[in-house]
Structure 1
Amino acid sequence: MTKIAAPVVTSRHPDARPTGAGLTPWAIKGELILNCNCTVFCPCVVSLGKHAPTEGYCQAWSGIRIDEGHYGDQDLGGLNVGLLLEIPGLMARGNWKAAAFIDDRANQAAYLGLIEIFSGRAKGTTGLFKLLVSEFLGAERAKISYETEGKTRRLMVGKKIQGEVVPVQGKRSGEDIVAMNTEYWMGPDITVATANKGRVRAFGRVWDFDGRSAEICQIDWSGPEIPK
Structure 2
Amino acid sequence: MASDRITTAVPIDNRAAGARKSGQGTVDWAIKGELILNCNCTVFCPCVVSLGLHPPTEGHCQTWGGVRIDSGHYGGTDLSGLNIGLLIEIPGMMSRGNWKVALYIDDRASEAAYNGLLDIFSGKAKGTTGLFNVLVGEVIGVERQPVRYETEGKTRRITVGRQIEGVVHPVEGKNPEEDIVIRNTKYWMGPDITVATATKGRVRAHGRVWDFHGRSAEICQIDWSGPGKG
Alignment TM-score > 0.5, same fold: yes
Q: Write the distance in 1 (CA, Å) between the matches of 2:135 and 2:229.
A: 22
Q: Write the distance in 2 (CA, Å) between the matches of 1:130 and 1:198.
A: 27
The answer to whether the aligner puts 1:183 opposite 2:186 as a matched pair is yes
The answer to whether the aligner puts 1:50 opposite 2:53 as a matched pair is yes
Indicate the residue corresponding to 2:152 in structure 1.
Answer: 149
Indicate the residue corresponding to 1:9 in structure 2.
Answer: none
- Say if 1:162 and 1:197, in contact at 8 Å, map to a contact too: yes
Q: Write the distance in 2 (CA, Å) between the matches of 1:30 and 1:191.
A: 14
Q: CA deviation at 1:102?
A: 0.3
2:74 paired residue among 66, 71, 75 = 71
2:208 paired residue among 193, 205, 208 = 205
Q: CA deviation at 1:173?
A: 3.2
1:36 paired residue among 30, 39, 43 = 39
* Runs of 4 or more consecutive aligned structure 1 residues displaced over 6 Å after TM superposition: none
Indicate the residue corresponding to 1:137 in structure 2.
Answer: 140
Indicate the residue corresponding to 2:177 in structure 1.
Answer: 174
Tell me, which stretches of 5 or more residues in structure 1 are unaligned? 7-18
Q: Write the distance in 1 (CA, Å) between the matches of 2:195 and 2:108.
A: 31
Q: CA deviation at 1:136?
A: 1.0
Indicate the residue corresponding to 1:99 in structure 2.
Answer: 102
Indicate the residue corresponding to 1:224 in structure 2.
Answer: 227
Larger deviation: 170-179 or 74-83?
A: 170-179
Q: Write the distance in 1 (CA, Å) between the matches of 2:195 and 2:229.
A: 34
TM-score by length of 2: 0.89
- Please state whether the residue corresponding to 2:37 is helix, strand or coil: strand
Aligned CA-pair RMSD: 2.0
Q: Write the distance in 2 (CA, Å) between the matches of 1:92 and 1:101.
A: 23
Q: CA deviation at 1:209?
A: 0.5
Q: Deviations over 1:80-104 (max 9, x none)?
A: 0000101100111111111100000
Indicate the residue corresponding to 1:165 in structure 2.
Answer: 168
Tell me, which stretches of 5 or more residues in structure 2 are unaligned? 5-15
Q: CA deviation at 1:22?
A: 2.3
One-letter code aligned to 2:201: G
Indicate the residue corresponding to 2:25 in structure 1.
Answer: 22
One-letter code aligned to 1:188: P
Q: Given the superposition, is the C-alpha separation of residues 22 and 39 from structure 1 closer, same or farther in structure 2, using an over 3 Å criterion? A: same
Q: Deviations over 1:15-56 (max 9, x none)?
A: xxxx95421111000000000000000000011111100000
Q: Write the distance in 1 (CA, Å) between the matches of 2:118 and 2:135.
A: 16
Q: Write the distance in 1 (CA, Å) between the matches of 2:229 and 2:95.
A: 25
- Say if 1:23 and 1:226, in contact at 8 Å, map to a contact too: no
One-letter code aligned to 1:102: I
TM-score by length of 1: 0.90
Superposed, which structure 2 residues align to 1:118-137 within 5 Å? 118-137=121-140
